[in-house]
A and B are shown apart, each in its own frame.
Chain A
Amino acid sequence: MSSKPYIFRIASLILCVSLGLMLFRGIAALPVTEKVTGPASHYLARTAGETGARNVVGAILFDYRAFDTLGESTVIFTAVCGIAMLFSRRKFHRSSRGLSFIAKRGIGIMVPFLLMYASVIILFGHLSPGGGFQGGTIFATVTVLLCVVFGSSFESQYFPPRTKDILESGGALLFSGIGLIGLAAGTGFLSNIAAGFPAGTFGSFLSAGSVPILNVAVGMKVGAGLSTIFYSMIKMLDAGHDHREGGGIE
């Protein structure tokens, strides 16, 4: 090995350090403020009145900047579509038989509680920390657990890929549909209280207008999407496992 890579390493070190220094100087030059200013102060002061939601972060995500949320969940939709496309040529032969009896029983007891937990996180997204993204991830975790513990054919029997596709597209369409209601009401795409969604009593379960519905829509999209990603990948691993068995290892 010559000294050439060494020189490149030093050069890239210098480049990184100077870039970091520039970025640090940029932060260090900012004046330190103790007060919340700008839109942030507006959100803190007015969220309850303007959206009816108790969770300010949830209100920003699903009301003030709901269009960003639609975009973010669409990024997941795109990734799911692509991963399913890249792995679609592998044919699924036979899944593993899963783990031991004890693991299966244990998970069997836990699954209903996990489902309830996920539902609460989604449905109470406008009142307490949580929301569609977080709850959807827990839903996906349930399907992942089923896949690992019982084998992927069991999982695909209870949650067929077809159902997941419908849930995912349905969530996306529900979100867009809520947006179009606002557009039809003439108050702007994805508008909430202004479009006539009832604000309800502040702090109660039925409040904050369209925010809970959007939470459900994102939960459907994220849960079904992440689960599809995992299933597409493990399907391929299982197919490989099958191939090894055919080779006579077992």
Chain B
Amino acid sequence: MTLVLAIMVPLLSAFLVPLFHLARKTLSVGLIGIMGLASISAALAAAHTGWYSPAVSLLGGWAPDIGIALVGDRLSSAFLLMTAIGSGAALACALEKFGGGPWRFYALFFLMLGSMNGILLTGDLFNLFVFYEIFSVAAYLMVAFSMSWQALEAGLKYLVLGTIGALFILLGTAFTFMATGVLNMALLAEALASIPRETLTAISACLVLGLTIKTGAFPVHFWLPDAHSSAQTAVSALLSGVLIKVSIYALMRVCYIFFLGTNGAVFLAITVIGSFSVLGGHLMALRQDDIKRLLAYSTVAQIGYILIGIGCASAAGAAAAVFHAFNHMLMKMGLFITAGNLSEEKGTREICGLTGLWKSHPLWVSAFAVLSASIVGIPPFNGFMSKWFIILSSAGAGTVIPALVIAAGTVISAAYYLRVLSAFISPDEGSSYDLPPYVPRKPRRRSVSFAIVGSFALLCLVLGVMPFSPIFREYFSSIGQTAVDVEAYVGLVTGR
């Protein structure tokens, strides 16, 4: 029962926003805050249910084969928690910056929140596609929201690439339905074992390609840097921190349930894509002068780490991938919010123009330092821990090359994050570039943004120490075991 509320509360909020706007011209921040809190608590309630008592919710009361079933287990719960934290932070930043004015933006935000929870909870392949459509359309529009020409171009690029991805997902779904006649994922796990080899190849190629485009992995990443860098700060943080993770979840769920026992080549392909993403993303990030583009390319590389973890096709690899996804959400959201605020302050996004910030904003710069140390993978922080677990599981799965790629990528990322930090710390004078004169803007209240960045930086430190506790390790390995235990999933849905 709580599962469907996690989808419906945000959707109902989105449907109500236009009516509230008609009643009163400007929406109050409090009203949107209440809707946001209700949506997030519904998601957390669903996560709680899924974690402690994995549940199936049959919509309309129909059996899973003829109707649609929602499934909440530990894997979906972990991702629900991740999206709840991330989207809550993004909503707080957006409310602080825009106030209650742009009501359509909030309608889109709630639609996106509902559809993300839908993707995380659905147990039906076509329903997954439907929620993907809401999610993607809302994402394209949120990128274009600032209406600058860069944002419109990025939104259009994202639209075209995203539609191609959706096309492949739909094609894979259609093939699956033609071959088996069912759409429920648990029933498909059984049915796919007995279909012709050629059909299975076509299905896996379509689904993996479609979902890879949506995650923004290296060969098909080129929509991501534009979209993530041109959007508003809160939206950039949401895109990099949360949206990508939802696509990661879809890839994980679909690949583990459908192809773990039937088509091992899929996981080799995911590992190869992941390795290329790590190298490609880091090398492209090294060349960027724009701080937000640098962070966006860094996202491509971090997606690569997660894909390598998924490609291990083991419980340890899946657990490491989820851990890294969670850490990346914290780190990248913090970095995007910091970078966005500091570059607004200086009026430029060029790294060489962002000088002298240590003097004026020591707290922001130290938060940035902690977060970037964490994302590079310096030992006491969480980034080191999750990368370490990914390397371990990759080596354990018998593939050493991805582990070496991760190590090489770490060195490159250290180079470019240090470049940003050295610009922040260097004094304001002596810049050889002709920058427009620095005009101090009207000071804006940013205490909420800073509270979020600060607490994320603290969490990075806490999560870096937590893996030493056996209880925590047990929790995380249980997520991995849930992810790869297809039989338990099928048993949960079919009730056998």
Contacts and interface: CB of A to CB of B under 8 A. Distances in A.
A144 B137 CA distance: 24
Interface in B10-30: 11-12, 14-16, 18-19, 22
A82 B131 contact: no
A7 to B, nearest CB: 19
Nearest to A72: B130
Interface string A190-202: 1110110000000
- What band does the interface of chain B fall in when counting residues whose beta carbon is under 8 Å from A? 35 or more
Contacts of A22: 198, 201-202, 205
Contacts of B12: 173, 176
B57 A189 contact: yes
B8 A78 contact: no
Given A25-B202, A64-B62, A86-B144, A169 B16 contact: yes
B58 interface: yes
Interface stretch (A39-47, A91-99, A119-127, A238-246): A39-47
A29 B201 CA distance: 11
Contacts of B478: none
Interface string A166-209: 10111011001001101100011111101100000000000000
A85 B145 contact: yes
Interface residues of A, number: 57
Interface string B424-458: 00000000000000000000000000000000000
Interface string A13-49: 0000000001101111111000001111011000000
A78 B67 CA distance: 25
Scoring A31, A38, A166, A187 by chain B CB atoms within 10 A of each residue's CB, the highest score goes to A38
A38 B141 contact: no
A71 interface: yes
Contacts, number: 166
B140 interface: yes
B8 A38 contact: no
Given A64-B66, A189-B60, A30 B137 contact: no
Nearest to A188: B61
A110 interface: no
Contact of B181 (A26, A38, A78, A188): A38
Given A38-B65, A68-B127, A74 B111 contact: yes
Given A64-B67, A195-B61, 18 more contacts: A22-B202, A22-B205, A26-B202, A30-B178, A67-B127, A68-B126, A78-B108, A82-B138, A84-B104, A85-B102, A85-B104, A89-B147, A166-B19, A172-B11, A176-B12, A183-B4, A190-B59, A192-B60
Interface of A: 22-23, 25-31, 37-40, 42-43, 63-68, 70-72, 74-75, 77-79, 81-82, 84-86, 88-89, 162, 165-166, 168-170, 172-173, 176, 179-180, 182-183, 187-192, 194-195
8 contacts: A37-B181, A66-B60, A79-B137, A81-B107, A168-B18, A176-B15, A183-B4, A189-B57
List 8 tightest A-B contacts by C-beta distance, closest first: A26-B202, A38-B181, A82-B141, A71-B130, A29-B196, A188-B61, A29-B198, A85-B104
Interface of B: 1, 4, 8, 11-12, 14-16, 18-19, 22, 57-62, 65-68, 102, 104-105, 107-108, 111, 114-115, 118, 126-127, 130-131, 133-134, 137-138, 140-141, 144-145, 147, 171, 175, 178-182, 195-199, 201-203, 205-206
